[in-house]
Homo-oligomer: A and B are copies of this chain.
Amino acid sequence: QVDGDRLWQSLMEMAKIGATEKGGVCRLALTDLDKAGRDLFVSWCKEAGCSVSVDKMGNIFARRPGRNEDMPPVMTGSHLDTQPTGGKFDGVYGVLAGLEVIRSLNDHRIETEAPVEVAVWTNEEGSRFAPAMVASGVFAGAFDLEYGLSRADLDGKTMGEELARIGYAGDREVGGRPIKAFFEAHIEQGPILEAEEKTIGVVTGAQGQRWYEITLTGQEAHAGPTPMKVRKDALVGAARIVGEVNRIGLAHQPYACATVGLMQVSPNSRNTIPGKVFFAVDFRHPDADTLAQMDSELRAFCDKVTAEIGVEMAFEQIWYSPPVAFDPDCVNAVRKGAKLAGFGHMDIVSGAGHDACYINRVAPTGMIFVPCENGISHNEVENATSADIAAGCNVLLHAVLERANA
């Protein structure tokens, strides 16, 4: 049994770092606030007797030794970075649940066969630096190190520069070592567990994602004396594509999601026809073929509309994260943990991407979901109950123990 109160208190303590007026958290990857959150986590891990190492992508590993130090570790963890309108639980829950597992093992003086590690993965959100899960991706060999370090934010600052600036450019090689199993606890970020009144989501996999960057270039001109017919209005083109993205999402129900979350208009002046619009598209579907169909529809529409409006287009799919199926043994360990503790549970497919999706490529992996209020995440009102938070952590403890002693 973990100490649910202690876990909750640690979550609330961490939520002060980057706390927003509306009760959320804004702690963007590799900002000073991210550094403060990392420092706090590291200090807690050291208090819990862990040794701490940092790799070249800034991933942090806190290690509790096992009886058999030659065994690969059982690893758990998630991320400390948030969205601009982030909440108190997305990511940080999985990190502090891992810490609570270690604290509980200490309390009960339980030795494990394999070492146990808690990981903090850098820039999971993909908000400041695209794509998401980039550092767990490097760890798992999905990206090379150079790619990871060169990801830049909208101001042109790279992850490499910012890691060095905040003192988290570690010297450990990224990945390339065996892991016995990886578990990630996370809030669901969707409405299903709440609707089905289940405490635990036994995550069997995650849907696929495609991310795009599109730049339309038309011609700046005066909004007053420039006749409608000679205009090359990049925003008129972008608006039509936003509408099409939404149509594609609706056309592939029940599972598809399709979103334009980011848009920058230039020169962004009320009485100048927009000469340039940069925006990003996020497509999701659990089935790779449907996701490919959504891709074709988007490309066809963009070609058509840009020709009609007479604007130039730069179109790039910047990220593809294929649908993921987690390891059956790890999934079973989660299901067994939920059963043993008597928690209502159900199998579920993750709508969000998670570091676990990449780690699954190099280690047997499973995930544990707990409900969040009204299914809302990436929003400052994101919320979860302390009972559910503790329940997920108890299931994590069970799964970690089972794999560490197997």
The closest CB in chain B to the CB of A263 belongs to B265
Residues from chain B with a CB closer than 8 A to the CB of A259 are 223, 233, 271, 273
The listed residue (B132, B189, B224, B260) touching A351 by CB distance below 8 A is: B224
B224 near A249 (CB under 8 angstroms)? no
Query: Is A272 in the interface zone, CB < 8 Å from B?
Result: yes
Query: Is A257 in the interface zone, CB < 8 Å from B?
Result: yes
Query: Is A250 in the interface zone, CB < 8 Å from B?
Result: yes
The closest CB in chain B to the CB of A309 belongs to B246
B224 near A269 (CB under 8 angstroms)? no
B227 near A271 (CB under 8 angstroms)? no
A223 near B378 (CB under 8 angstroms)? yes
A211 near B270 (CB under 8 angstroms)? yes
Complex Cα spacing A122 to B105, Å: 70
Distance from A31 Cβ to chain B, minimum over Cβ atoms (Å): 14
Complex Cα spacing A228 to B271, Å: 34
Complex Cα spacing A280 to B235, Å: 12
Query: Is A85 in the interface zone, CB < 8 Å from B?
Result: yes
For chain A, which range describes its interface: under 10, 10 to 19, 20 to 34, or 35 or more residues?
35 or more
Complex Cα spacing A127 to B227, Å: 20
Complex Cα spacing A337 to B87, Å: 68
Query: Is A126 in the interface zone, CB < 8 Å from B?
Result: yes
25 A–B contacts from the bound complex (CB under 8 Å): A83-B271, A85-B220, A85-B267, A85-B269, A126-B271, A127-B269, A127-B271, A190-B226, A190-B227, A220-B380, A222-B352, A222-B376, A223-B257, A224-B282, A225-B350, A225-B375, A233-B246, A233-B259, A238-B239, A239-B240, A259-B273, A260-B274, A263-B265, A272-B379, A273-B378
Q: Given contacts A233-B259, A270-B280, A275-B379, could you give 4 more A-B pairs where the C-beta distance is less than 8 Å?
A: A85-B267, A127-B269, A222-B378, A239-B239
